[in-house]
C-alpha cells in the first residue's frame, strides 16, 4: 500500500541520489563551473535534459488535466513550438556564441546600451520567478494534498523544504550539476508517462493500439480548431503564439539558454536544440494521450475530479488515479518519481539561472575583486531561494485557473518586452535614445494589459489568446523605432 511515509521515503531517496550527483559535479566550486560548466557539456546530455526542464511539473500534471476541457488542441501550440526551436537554433544561438556571453542579456548591452541590458535582465527576472513559481506551486499542492496533509505538515513548510533541498544540490556545481541531474530527471519523467499509459491500459483490458482505435478516445481527440478565427484557440492563433512562446521562453530566456551556452561550440548547441525539439513534441503528445486515458479510466471507475478548496481541479486527477485508483503500487511509485523529477528539473535550473543573471546583469560580478566573486554568487543563490519560497507560497492564495494556461498567459506580458528589444537589436541597424526606453516599455505593457482584459464583446466576438505575446513584442518594436537615433 502507498502511504504518505512510503512516498516520503521515495523523495528522500531521490534527493540522496541528486546530492550524490552534485558531490561529483561540484568539486570545482568556481563561478565558471557554476555559470557555464566551463563550456564543456556534451550536447546530447543537454538535449535530453532540456526535455525535462521544458516540460516540468506543469506538463506532467496540468497537460493531462487540461484534456477534458481543451481535448488535444494544445498540440496546435506544440506544433508552433517546433518552428520556434528552429528559429532559436539558427538565429539566436549564433548571436550568443559570436558575442561569447555568459548572460544572454549582455548582448543588449553591446548592441543597444546599459538601460536595454538592465531592462532585458529585469523582464527575464520577473518572467522566470513567475514561471518557476508556477511550476513549483503545482507540484507543491500535489505533494501537500497526497502526502504532507496526512503527516500534519503545513503547505508553507512543504514549499520551504522543497526549495532548501534544491539549494543544497545546486549551490556548488550550478549548471554543470544541472546538466546531469536534468538527464536523470527527464528519464524518470518519460518512464513515468509511458508506464502509466501501459498500466492504465492493462486495467482497461486494452492494448495501446486498441486504446488509439477506441470510441472513448473520440471524445477527447480534437486537435485542430479552424471553424472561427474569433475563437481563443483557433489554429493560426495557437500555432503562431506557440512559435513566439518558444522563441521567448527558450531563446530569450537565460534559464534555457544557459544550458545551451555550456556546450562546447555553436554546432553542438544547434544539434542539441534540433534533437531536443523533436523529442519534446513526441513526449508532449504522450502526455496528452495519457490525459485522455485518465478521464476514460475515471469515468469507467466512477472516480470524481478531486477538490481543492471546495472546487473541482482537473490538475489533480493524475495523482488521484495514480495514488488512489487501485492500479497497484507500481503506478504510484512511477508517478511519484516522475512528479518529483518534473518538479525539480525545472526548479533547479531556474534557481541557477536567476542567480547567474542577477550576478552578471545587476551586480556586475566580473567587475568585483576576484576574492569576493564566489561569496557574491553564494549570497545571491540564497537570496533567490528565499524569493522563490515567498512567491510559491503566495500563489496558493491567488491562482484560480489551469496552471499551464496561466503560465502561457503571463508569458504574453513578461516576455513581450524581451521579444521587442531583441528583434530591434537583431533586425535593425539603429541605436535608441535610452532615456526614453522605460517610458516605451511601460506604455506598451499598459496598452497590452488593457487589451488583454477586454471582453470579447468589445472586439466583435474575438477572443484573445496567446497572440498577446507577439502583439506585445510588435508594439515594443514599434515603440523603439519611435525613439531610434536618426
Query: CATH number, domain at 63?
Result: 1.20.1730.10
Q: Is residue 108 part of a domain?
A: yes
| Residue with more model confidence, 204 or 412 | 204
Q: What is the pLDDT of residues 13-48, one digit of tens each?
A: 888 888 898 888 888 878 888 888 888 898 998 888
For 188, counting Cβ atoms within 10 Å of its Cβ (0-12 exposed, 13-18 middle, 19+ buried), the class is buried
Q: Is residue 386 part of a domain?
A: yes
Supply the pLDDT for residue 208: 92
Q: Is residue 400 part of a domain?
A: yes
Strand partners, 484: 432
Helices (H) and strands (E) in the chain, counts: 21, 2
From CA 91, how far away is CA 47, in angstroms rounded?
18
Backbone dihedral region of 455: left (phi > 0), alpha (psi from -120 to 50 degrees) or beta?
beta
Per-residue confidence at 405, pLDDT binned at 50, 70, 90?
Answer: low
Q: Sign of torsion, CA 93 98 102 105?
A: negative
List helix spans (H) across 26-174: 31-36, 43-57, 63-70, 74-87, 93-99, 106-111, 114-143, 155-170
Q: What is the pLDDT of residues 209-256, one digit of tens each?
A: 999 999 999 888 888 988 888 887 889 888 988 898 899 889 999 988
From CA 235, how far away is CA 216, in angstroms rounded?
24
84 phi/psi in degrees, rounded to 5: -60, -40
Domain that holds residue 137: 4-413
Distances (CA, A) of 400 to 93, 128, 155, 309: 37, 20, 17, 10
Q: Is residue 232 part of a domain?
A: yes
For residue 289, the tally of other CB atoms under 10 A from its CB is 21
Q: What is the pLDDT of residues 370-404, one digit of tens each?
A: 889 999 999 999 999 999 999 889 888 776 545 55
307 phi/psi in degrees, rounded to 5: -100, 145
Window from 30-34, 310-314, 363-367 with minimum mean pLDDT: 310-314
Q: Is residue 296 part of a domain?
A: yes
Q: Which one, of 98, 82, 175, lies nearest residue 426 by Cα?
A: 98
For residue 311, the tally of other CB atoms under 10 A from its CB is 8
Number of domains in the chain: 1
Residue 315 has pLDDT above 80, yes or no: no
Per-residue confidence at 111, pLDDT binned at 50, 70, 90?
Answer: very high
Residue 177 has pLDDT above 70, yes or no: yes
Q: Is residue 84 part of a domain?
A: yes
Q: What is the pTM of this model?
A: 0.85
Q: Which one, of 61, 86, 198, 48, lies nearest residue 143 by Cα?
A: 61
Supply the pLDDT for residue 1: 58
From CA 353, how far away is CA 359, in angstroms rounded?
10
Q: Is residue 392 part of a domain?
A: yes
- Asked whether 196 and 334 are in contact (CB, 8 A), the reply is yes
Q: Is residue 459 part of a domain?
A: no
Amino acid at each position: 500500500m502507498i502511504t504518505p511515509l512510503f512516498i516520503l521515503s521515495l523523495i528522500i531517496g531521490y534527493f540522496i541520489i541528486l546530492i550524490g550527483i552534485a558531490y561529483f559535479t561540484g568539486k570545482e566550486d568556481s563561478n565558471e563551473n557554476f555559470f557555464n560548466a566551463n563550456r564543456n557539456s556534451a550536447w546530447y546530455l543537454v538535449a535530453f535534459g532540456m526535455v525535462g526542464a521544458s516540460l516540468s511539473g506543469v506538463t506532467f500534471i496540468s497537460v493531462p488535466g487540461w484534456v477534458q476541457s481543451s481535448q488535444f488542441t494544445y498540440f496546435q501550440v506544440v506544433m508552433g513550438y517546433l518552428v520556434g526551436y528552429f528559429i532559436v537554433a539558427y538565429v539566436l544561438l549564433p548571436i550568443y556564441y559570436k558575442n561569447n556571453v555568459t548572460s544572454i542579456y549582455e548582448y543588449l548591452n553591446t548592441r543597444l546600451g546599459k538601460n536595454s541590458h538592465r531592462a532585458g535582465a529585469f523582464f527575464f527576472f520577473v518572467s522566470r520567478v513567475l514561471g518557476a513559481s508556477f511550476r513549483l506551486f503545482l507540484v507543491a499542492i500535489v505533494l501537500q494534498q497526497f502526502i504532507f496533509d496526512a503527516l500534519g505538515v503545513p503547505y508553507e513548510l512543504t514549499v520551504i523544504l522543497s526549495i532548501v533541498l534544491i539549494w543544497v544540490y545546486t549551490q556548488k556545481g550550478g549548471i554543470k550539476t544541472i546538466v546531469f541531474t536534468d538527464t536523470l530527471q527527464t528519464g524518470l519523467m518519460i518512464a513515468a508517462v509511458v508506464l502509466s499509459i501501459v498500466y492504465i491500459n492493462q486495467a482497461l483490458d486494452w492494448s495501446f493500439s486498441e486504446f488509439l482505435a477506441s470510441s472513448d478516445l473520440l471524445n477527447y481527440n480534437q486537435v485542430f480548431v479552424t471553424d472561427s478565427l474569433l475563437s481563443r484557440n483557433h489554429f493560426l492563433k495557437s500555432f503562431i503564439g506557440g512559435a513566439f512562446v518558444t522563441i521567448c521562453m527558450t531563446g530569450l530566456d537565460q534559464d534555457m539558454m544557459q544550458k545551451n551556452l555550456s556546450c562546447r561550440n555553436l554546432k553542438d548547441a544547434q544539434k542539441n536544440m534540433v534533437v531536443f525539439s523533436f523529442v519534446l513534441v513526441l513526449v508532449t503528445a504522450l502526455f496528452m494521450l495519457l490525459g485522455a486515458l485518465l478521464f476514460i479510466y475515471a469515468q469507467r471507475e466512477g472516480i470524481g475530479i478531486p477538490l481543492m478548496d471546495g472546487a473541482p481541479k482537473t490538475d489533480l486527477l493524475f495523482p488521484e488515479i495514480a495514488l488512489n485508483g487501485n492500479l497497484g503500487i507500481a503506478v504510484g511509485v512511477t508517478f511519484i518519481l516522475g512528479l518529483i523529477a518534473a518538479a525539480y528539473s525545472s526548479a533547479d535550473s531556474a534557481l541557477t539561472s536567476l542567480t547567474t543573471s542577477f550576478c552578471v546583469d545587476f551586480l556586475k560580478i566580473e567587475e568585483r575583486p576576484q576574492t569576493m566573486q564566489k561569496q557574491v554568487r553564494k549570497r545571491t543563490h540564497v537570496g533567490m531561494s528565499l524569493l522563490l519560497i515567498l512567491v510559491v507560497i503566495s500563489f496558493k492564495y491567488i491562482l484560480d485557473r489551469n496552471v499551464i494556461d496561466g503560465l502561457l498567459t503571463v508569458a504574453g506580458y513578461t516576455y513581450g518586452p524581451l521579444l521587442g528589444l531583441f528583434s530591434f537589436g537583431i533586425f535593425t541597424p539603429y541605436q535608441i535614445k535610452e532615456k526614453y526606453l522605460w517610458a516605451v516599455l511601460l506604455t506598451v505593457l499598459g496598452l497590452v494589459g488593457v487589451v488583454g482584459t477586454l471582453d470579447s464583446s468589445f472586439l466583435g466576438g474575438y477572443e484573445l489568446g496567446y497572440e498577446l505575446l507577439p502583439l506585445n513584442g510588435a508594439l515594443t518594436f514599434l515603440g523603439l523605432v519611435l525613439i531610434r537615433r536618426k
